[in-house]
Chains A and B, each alone.
Chain A
Amino acid sequence: MGNFSLYVDNGTWLNKMHPYTKLLYILAAICIPLIGGKLWLFPLMILCSICLLACGRTLKRALPLVAFSFTLIVVIFLIQGLFYHSNENVLFKVWILTFYKEGVLYAAHIGLNILNMLLSFALFVLTTSPQELVEELEKSGFSPKFGYIINSVFQIIPQMMKSKDTIMDAQRSRGMETEGKLLVRVKALFPMISPVVMSSLINTRERAIALEVRGFGRKNKKSFLSERPKHKGDRAIGAFLVLLIILVIVWRIASCL
């Protein structure tokens, strides 16, 4: 649990691309099918994300992210296919269950939307260092206070996990049981959670002092160690994505008229 973030730097161009460009891609990937309103746009964007993930040699690492949404998608298919409120036309029957066309179509919409969002996020999450994102945000005028919060979460949680193990050992040494009947386990809850909370509050006080003596919260502008080399393609890709979003909006308006 040394590293809380899923980011891995494998040196591909996706790593070098500016975080903002990748954020813009998420926006485009989600907006285009929703605004466009056509079902076929979802698989198109999904395919697009898969291709990009493959380019960045991160497709394999994206699989577990997608896998855990499958139960949700299956449940949605079952419930909506069977009970969707405007179900009319029977699509097929399995045993005593009747699936309707409207419900399945509706479920397909939701399911594809989930997949689409997951994949476009995966593209961002797997190739972007959270610290880099925060630094870029701060350079664009985002408050360093919020930047600090985000950075420190990644550093503090692994430390807190370690202290959870110690706390459990300390209480078990004093005869606390963690296995057995529900009542036994419920009794163990407070002896575990209370030291976790109290020690993190005590640490919080000390860390706040450490920050104050390092000039945290000063009014002057923060400086940065390095200038980020902008990838050549960043501007071009960004412009292309914005253009696509505009196009789809125009197309939607035009088709409504």
Chain B
Amino acid sequence: MPVISIENLKYRYPGTKHLAIDDISLTIEKGEFIGIVGQNGAGKSTLSQAMIGLVPQFYKGAYGGKVTVDGIRTDTCPVEEMCEKVGLIFQNPFNQLSGAAETVYGEVAFGLQNLGIPAQEMKERIEKALKQLDIWQYRNRNPFNLSGGQMQRVAIASILVMQPEIIILDEPTSQLDPEGTEEVFRVVDTLTSAGFTIIMIEQKLEKMAKYCDRLILMSKGKVIDFDTPEKIFSRDDLEKLGVQPPAYTRICRQYGLKKEDGTYPVTLEDTINIFKEKGVKLRRPESGKDAAELGHNVFRAENLDFSYNENVHIFENLNLLLDKRATAIIGQNGAGKTTLVRLLKGLLKPQGGRIWFGEDDISGKTVAMLADKVGYVFQNPDDQIFKYKVLDEVMYGPLNIGMSEETAREKSLKALELMGLKGKEKMNPYDLELNERKMTAIASVIAMDTDVVILDEPTIAQDYPGRQLIGNMIRELSEAGKLVIAILHDMDFVEENFDRVIVMAHGKLLCDGTSAQVFSEDDVLKEARLQKPYLTELFTKLEQ
């Protein structure tokens, strides 16, 4: 008897013309760990939200077919009742806090209070969940002042205490730093053995391969396939559907290493085994351009001192040279990455030391004076979008820095094309999804044609095609002689796309070199609490 059964589900959001879910039927058994994969806009979140009844009850729109959980129809059973059976955790840790509690303890209690659970039982459940997720020590803190990973664990605890049978995790780590991601996955580890039925949506497919019993592969509102990770990731048409198989599978495919059932391995262990079993030697790929410095220095920071207040020093006596190599800055949240790039952009002023941009000392310049030289793409596109048309939004910056209407239009159209938004120039940016809004924000800075482009976490919320577009953009700008600096949490993306990598931790530069150099420094990575890219990890493991 399946716990979730979906029959001919169809759904259309209000005010749109196409079906977000187009005739899906499937069943999920109790205790299964199910993954949903597919590119952005494939309907993954919509499908998962239909399992708790948010689709259609919350969004309205047009709905057809039937979804039942434990025999209860989700399209008519109110969500506030359904939540006893199904728990939902989504991307943004911030917006998942109820906003009504001053402490973590109160936050986790919120759902139980709504269910009317007696005080004594509430206390027992909360204590158990907080300890299980290792956040008991934060119980009296304000949840809004926690880190993303901690907040996300609070969100999971808030759902766990309500004791649902089914837990939906909708990209729970996409907005977290590497450490927060690890924290959340450690929690997912403990959930797998606790007998829950789990539905997880995630772009980190190496993780999906590790956890999932079966994967639902979606594209354009339809289910293309529903099978084991090995079968799904061995499909030949995957990249066409906007999904990149896990790094391990790609390597095995490259070496033609198949398992007995004709599928490629999908996890690290299986890959190591198959390489050893078949006695194949793995060759390290040529490590790209060497640390050859390109041209003269763009930025030179000398003896930089900076602190937000008297007690907390972020930088003391920091020295840094940046040339024109595309540079990735990696490290945990709080390492000082954002502070550093804000200093370079002139948004913050150093208390001591100097920053030279070419021949100019920027300490005395305002942000506006630097606007046409240094571009900065903020993390959240919603912090800047205000026009009704994508093109107008992108043209705002170029016009501000004194470009003619004609030049601004030309550069904007080019930037939009580069970011994959050709044909969407006339759309309202708020009708686009988050990943496309992010592309709009990137385009709006690229169109300003600045010598330097700083990107703060460009890959958040991006799927495989989106990451390819961003990688492409970085290459193109570098070739045009511009300096690209990016803060990133995605080590695999760093390895593939950057010539220079700087590792930061607690306000210091721990390491600086090519990605091959940096990712071979185990001690540095440990101190910065960073993980190796999947492929580097595989090489290291095989060489042992």
Contacts and interface: CB of A to CB of B under 8 A. Distances in A.
A is bound by B: yes
A222 interface: yes
Contacts of B384: 167, 170-171, 174, 191, 195
Interface stretch (B19-27, B115-123, B466-474): B115-123
A39 interface: no
Given A174-B396, A195-B386, A212-B79, A226 B119 contact: yes
Interface of B: 52, 54, 58, 79-81, 83-84, 86-88, 90, 92, 94-102, 106, 109-119, 122-123, 142, 144-145, 155, 158-159, 162, 342, 345, 347, 367-368, 371-372, 375-376, 378, 380, 382-386, 396-397, 400-401, 430, 444-445, 448
29 contacts: A156-B99, A170-B376, A170-B378, A172-B368, A172-B371, A173-B367, A175-B400, A175-B448, A194-B385, A195-B382, A206-B96, A207-B95, A209-B88, A213-B52, A213-B83, A213-B88, A214-B111, A214-B114, A214-B158, A214-B162, A215-B83, A218-B81, A220-B115, A222-B114, A223-B117, A224-B113, A225-B106, A225-B122, A226-B119
B114 to A, nearest CB: 4
A191 B386 contact: yes
A226 B109 CA distance: 11
Contacts of A222: 113-114, 116
Contact of A221 (B81, B96, B116): B116
B197 to A, nearest CB: 16
B270 to A, nearest CB: 36
A143 interface: no
A203 B117 CA distance: 29
Given A173-B371, A173-B378, 15 more contacts: A148-B98, A151-B100, A152-B100, A169-B378, A173-B376, A173-B445, A175-B400, A195-B383, A198-B386, A203-B95, A206-B90, A212-B79, A212-B80, A214-B83, A215-B115
B383 A213 contact: no
B94 A159 contact: yes
Contacts of A194: 385-386
Given A170-B383, A207-B95, A226-B119, A175 B114 contact: no
A148 B100 CA distance: 6
Contact of B96 (A169, A172, A210): A210
Contacts of B118: 223
Contact of A175 (B79, B116, B372): B372
A119 B342 CA distance: 45
A209 B113 contact: no
A48 B516 CA distance: 75
Contacts of A217: 80, 114
Nearest to A216: B114
A113 to B, nearest CB: 35
Contacts of B145: 2
A210 B98 contact: yes
A147 B97 CA distance: 16
Contacts of B371: 172-175
Nearest to B102: A131
Given A173-B367, A214-B111, A223 B99 contact: no
Contacts of A151: 99-101
Contacts of B111: 214-215
A159 B372 CA distance: 30
A199 B382 contact: yes
A163 B383 CA distance: 7
A177 interface: yes
Contacts of B445: 173-174
Nearest to A151: B100
A144 B98 CA distance: 13
Given A175-B397, A218-B81, A155 B58 contact: no
A190 B345 CA distance: 23
A167 B422 CA distance: 26
Interface in A142-168: 144, 147-148, 151-152, 155-156, 158-159, 163, 166-167
